[in-house]
Amino acid sequence: MGMCPYCAEDVPAESKSCWKCGTELSGEGETSFSAATEPAIEQRKKPKDRPVGECPHCGAIVGVKSLRCNDCGRAVRTTDKRNWVPAIWTAFGLVLFALVAGLIYGYVDSLKAPPDPGRSTPEPVGYDQLLRMYRADSAKARTKKLELWEQHHKGKFVRWEMTLLAIREDGSVALGTTEDVSAATPHAVLELKDTEAVKSKGLMKGKMYLYSASLDHIEGTTVYLTKAVIE
């Protein structure tokens, strides 16, 4: 046996050319390597060991990076192709998770009590203005005023500041524009939205409080309001 000086492959001594790279080995049809030069050529030309495997078609030994088998000539591997299937399933899972989470959040949010429409934009009208607008001296006038009240102010929110006169047994709060107003005929009676607000806010007689509430009706000089929130 001899060795091809170009690709370092082992070749029979009588070969005229290398079976692997096709290089002619000698003009006489024989390889002529002396014992003195062969080790030097082997040391200079022999490539590093490369990982090998089997050809899936014929079972011959081929390099793991080879594209074709040297024995059967068939392709042993194709160019690398990225596998997008795991990435696609991962993206699909994330989208599905976000969709389900959004639906759950929307359902939970819908269970919360919606904010009172109009509270954030209260009517720019004061107690004295309302009293002048809806005070009536006769039954006929009261009927007319009631119609106007239903059309223009009932259910509207106002934001007023008054002095606490009394906390009633039913949990409502009586207030007046000044301290000397009688608790029996207050200027405003509030039905609190939070029945525990009297304790949680520490409401005290004689103190001034800012509140927002929905207009309900007027009786004499007293305005009755609902959904009241002490601010």
CATH code of the domain containing 142: 2.40.50.140
Whole-model pTM: value is 0.53
Q: What is the pLDDT at residue 36?
A: 44
Q: For residue 202, is it within any domain?
A: yes
* Residue 224: closest CA among 173, 177, 183, 179: 173
Kindly report the average pLDDT of the chain as a whole number. 82
Q: What is the pLDDT at residue 112?
A: 66
Parent domain of 148:
127-230
170 phi and psi angles, rounded to 5 deg:
-80, 5
pLDDT tens column, 6-19: 777 777 777 777 76
How many residues in the chain?
231
Q: For residue 3, is it within any domain?
A: no
Number of domains the chain is built from: 1
Q: For residue 186, is it within any domain?
A: yes
Q: For residue 59, is it within any domain?
A: no
pLDDT above 50: residue 1:
yes
106 phi and psi angles, rounded to 5 deg:
-65, -40
Q: What is the pLDDT at residue 27?
A: 45
Q: What is the pLDDT at residue 31?
A: 44
51: Cα separation from own chain's centroid: 48
For range 205-223, the mean pLDDT: 95
Highest mean pLDDT (candidates 5-14, 42-51, 157-166, 192-201)? 157-166
Q: For residue 184, is it within any domain?
A: yes
Tell me how far apart the alpha carbons of residues 143 and 81 are, in angstroms, rounded to a whole number: 85
23 phi and psi angles, rounded to 5 deg:
-70, 135
Q: For residue 133, is it within any domain?
A: yes
Q: For residue 206, is it within any domain?
A: yes
* Assigned token pair, 103: 């639906």
Q: For residue 37, is it within any domain?
A: no
